[in-house]
Structure 1
Amino acid sequence: MEEISWGILGTAEIAEEQVIPAIQKSVNGKVAAIASRNPARKATKLAEQFDIPTIYSSYEELLADETIDAVYVPLPNELHAEWTKKAAAYGKNVLCEKPAGLTALQVEEMVAACKSANITFMESMMYQFHPQHKRVKEIIAEGAIGEVKQMRASFSFPLEKPGNFRLKSQVDGGGSIFDIGCYTIHAIRSFLGEPTDVLFVEETLTADGNTDIAAIGIFEHKNGKKSYFDCGMNMSTRNEYEIVGTKGTIRVPKAFIPQADGEGIIELIPNEGPVKQEQIISDYYVEGVEFFTRQIIDGKDLTHLAEDTLNNLKAMDAVRNWKKQTETIRRCTEKL
């Protein structure tokens, strides 16, 4: 196998704008089919736009196509677990849009199904494939900012479309934590390791109280390190993180969302001396797609990435359950 034949389950915006173009640009993959429950509409347009030869009117039909090696699942968050497990049952390798599941338990079931079917599974957390993040780790290892003490990760944008799918109930995978907070938490874990405790969480809820339009939280890590994340769909656009050490700070102002220019900027701000800046260019959706397909072609084990996805959902579970836990503690204290 030298090239992966892809199927796309659905016609989501992220598939149209990022993943399908990335697959078509990649050196080891092509999109062979797309499935939509209403193919006469957007699927036909995408098939023409990206030269996709086959359109299916159901996801099951695409999964049953024996010529398809891998599928991309950009369906609504609450459907990720269901269709990942169904794809695994058909023997298809799965690239699943983030967040992979709504809970750590869902992800455990997804990973188990893929492992049982002996297929490759990866969450589409594509920002991590931009080489700027590897360079940040190198700068830290070189001792440029001394001992790391804390980290902040922020992701926000103004959501201007009423009735947007992102505003569905948290129960159905809506809200800022699922949509963009997952990135900030993933980045924090990538640099500081797994959080040992959730110290604080505050959510700004929509008018109906069903989902979070914004959230902030504080983690504690080993050796007393602290991290802070914030995410929101009711404020100006930011997608950045900064890592603070004893000798300086690293700031990455274009960390998470796709940039048309592929530009990654790293600012090194020492305690003394001039600010230094590095620029790294990358099409990280193509990088991510090619990484995934190489693992399939070479038969490599991606267990470590599945575990990383699971641990991210565990941290997100802890964030989403923090207020519930503290309310329980508060009620017990009141009884005392």
Structure 2
Amino acid sequence: MDKIKWGILGTAKIAMEQVIPAIQRSSNGVVAAIASSSGKAVKIASQFNIPHSYESYEDLLADPEIDAVYIPLPNHLHKEWAIKAANARKHVLCEKPAALNTEDVKAMVSACMANDVLFMEGFMYRFHPQHTKVKELIQDNVIGDIKMLHANFSFYMEDRKGNIRLNRQLGGGVIYDIGCYCIHSLRYILEAEPIQMSVIGEMNDEGVDTSASVIMTFPNNVQAMFMCSFDAMLKNEYEIIGSKGSIRVPFAYRPDLNAGKGIVQLVLENEFREYVIDGDQYKFEVEHFADCIQSNREPVSSGDHAISNMRVIDALLEMLI
């Protein structure tokens, strides 16, 4: 099959800085069109040498040449445009979190299924090969039985006035924004769903969560904890503690901030090993989705996974807000 022709809905920073360049680096995809409701489409298309630009999302979806769309729009718009894209028979790569609640994600996934197109939630970290190394160490029983996990994703938000991440109506809040990565990674490592949860957090004057600390119990009494915050220094890591050793991944979610180098640290009773693993996580993400389209197979971050992750987010926000 020819390369997948991508359409980009919007000119969000992540699209400009990460995903458009990643598609252009990929082996099986090209950016064929971009749309913007803010009048920026022509300028961005020229900047990235994108052949077609549209002043409305509807016009891009009407383009018969487009195979798949990437949706980096504000969280509250994901449901609307994922469903419209599905109805236009476009495959959908949607930024995380997939939507604002489980029922909305179910509606998005159902629309994709009804139109025979694929849906994937954009957890790019999952495609860095450092996590494959982590899974290999676990499967080889190097650290024994998993007993505890810790995850931490935080950054200090400098400019808060008018920041979309602090607008509840638009899907703001730290759990939606970066806590979702911690939830996803804990579920991915354990290949299980939490059976009990508790959360404490800090809210701003508008009732938006800016910091949260979560404790989860998984099957076999595995305890998992994570912290996420807009009020603390940049950290993006997880640690897995087993009966014989531990694994720490200090650039778990943003190895691109470490020149693409993932680090996996293994600590045993009398031994320390460190693996440095290069990877282009955004490129691997878009290549995986394009390959799934070409081979007609389900992506690893499928609609069912998106629904399961959102169930956890829903439960935490219900306890917190």
The alignment's TM-score, normalised by the length of structure 2, stands at 0.96
CA displacement 1:253-292 (0-9 Å, x = unmatched): 001025151100000111x213110011000110010000
CA displacement 1:288-328 (0-9 Å, x = unmatched): 1000001111111348721111100011111111247xxxx
C-alpha contact 2:123 2:301 (8 A) present in aligned 1 = no
Q: Which residue of 2 aligns with 1:332?
A: none
Q: Does 1:252 align with 2:252?
A: no
Q: Does 1:196 align with 2:195?
A: yes
Secondary structure (helix, strand or coil) at the match of 2:7 reads strand
Q: Which residue of 1 aligns with 2:128?
A: 130
- Which structure would you say has the larger Rg? 1
Identity across aligned pairs (percent)? 47
- Matches of 1:22 and 1:53 in 2, distance apart? 17
Secondary structure (helix, strand or coil) at the match of 2:38 reads coil
Q: Which runs of 5+ in 2 are unaligned?
A: none
Q: CA deviation at 1:143?
A: 1.6
Q: Which residue of 2 aligns with 1:107?
A: 105
Mapping of residues 1-336 of structure 1, within 5 Å: 1-39=1-39, 41=40, 43-162=41-160, 163-169=162-168, 171-192=169-190, 193-198=192-197, 200-208=198-206, 210-260=207-257, 261-270=259-268, 272-302=269-299, 305-323=302-320
Deviates more, 1:11-20 or 1:295-304: 295-304
The alignment's TM-score, normalised by the length of structure 1, stands at 0.92
Q: Which runs of 5+ in 1 are unaligned?
A: 325-336
Q: Which residue of 2 aligns with 1:330?
A: none
CA displacement 1:211-257 (0-9 Å, x = unmatched): 01111110111111110011001110000000001111110000102
C-alpha contact 2:92 2:119 (8 A) present in aligned 1 = yes
Q: Which residue of 2 aligns with 1:327?
A: none
- Matches of 2:109 and 2:185 in 1, distance apart? 21
CA RMSD after TM alignment: 1.3
Secondary structure (helix, strand or coil) at the match of 2:265 reads strand
Residues 110 and 303 of structure 1: is their aligned pair in 2 closer, same or farther, counting only changes over 3 Å? farther
- Matches of 2:12 and 2:145 in 1, distance apart? 43
Q: CA deviation at 1:172?
A: 3.0
Runs of 4+ residues deviating >6 angstroms: none
- Matches of 1:320 and 1:224 in 2, distance apart? 23
Q: CA deviation at 1:50?
A: 1.2
- Matches of 1:246 and 1:303 in 2, distance apart? 29
- Opposite residue 50 of structure 1, the aligned amino acid is F
CA displacement 1:110-165 (0-9 Å, x = unmatched): 00000000001111111000011111011011122111001011100011112211
